[in-house]
Amino acid sequence: MSDNKVWKAVQPYFNGGASGMLATCIIQPIDMVKVRLQLGAQGSPLQVAKDIVAKDGFGALYKGLSAGLVRQATYTTARLGIFQQISEYAKQLNDGKNLPLWQKAACGLTAGGLGALVGTPADLTLIRMQADSTLPLEQRRNYKGVGDAMMRIVREDGVAGLFRGGGPTV
């Protein structure tokens, strides 16, 4: 498979996305607690986790997982794949020599910014899905999943609404 040009081009994107998605499955409960603390929940992280489970069940710790997975499938996939491609191009421009630190940093900043831009819609839906149960009942959006959330955001705010808050992220 190492001779396959298509696989060689796709591999950094695939590896980045797969590793990011696996990490998201593991870290999702911690991210949920973090978001609740950022929204004003009181107590230690462990107490906030206990409160979430007591109020909404264990599955509530994984609320927004679908959006988190889409975020990783877009953001991490793009970021790591783009970094690989940009780095290889920069190395060619550098006559095949290893890149100095400042060029690696420039490649990383470019790839990170482009990846963040690509991942902003999924990031927005993730935050909205995680925060939804903290809203008063009449204000809850009750998204059915990441697809429903994205479609409703586009319907209510236009395509540009998917990129709300994206500037600071990039």
Q: Which tens digits make up the pLDDT trace of 4-33?
A: 888 888 888 888 889 989 999 999 999 999
Using 50, 70 and 90 to split pLDDT, how confident is the model at 2? low
Beta strand spans in the chain (E): none
User: pTM of this prediction?
Assistant: 0.76
> Residue with structure tokens 């006559």?
95
- Report the residue count for the chain: 170
Closest by CA to 84, choosing from 109, 113, 111, 115, is: 111
Single-letter amino acid, residue 166 = G
How many angstroms separate the CA atoms of 76 and 74, rounded? 6
pLDDT for res 29: 96
pLDDT, residue 169, reads 85
Distance, CA of 13 to CA of 81 (rounded, Å):
4
99-156 residue pLDDT tens: 999 999 999 999 999 999 999 999 999 889 988 988 999 999 999 999 999 999 999 9
Contacts with 75 (C-beta within 8 Å, 6 or more apart), sequence order: 20, 115, 116, 118, 119, 122, 123
Q: Are 141 and 152 in contact (CB under 8 A)?
A: yes
Confidence of residue 3 (pLDDT cuts 50, 70, 90): confident
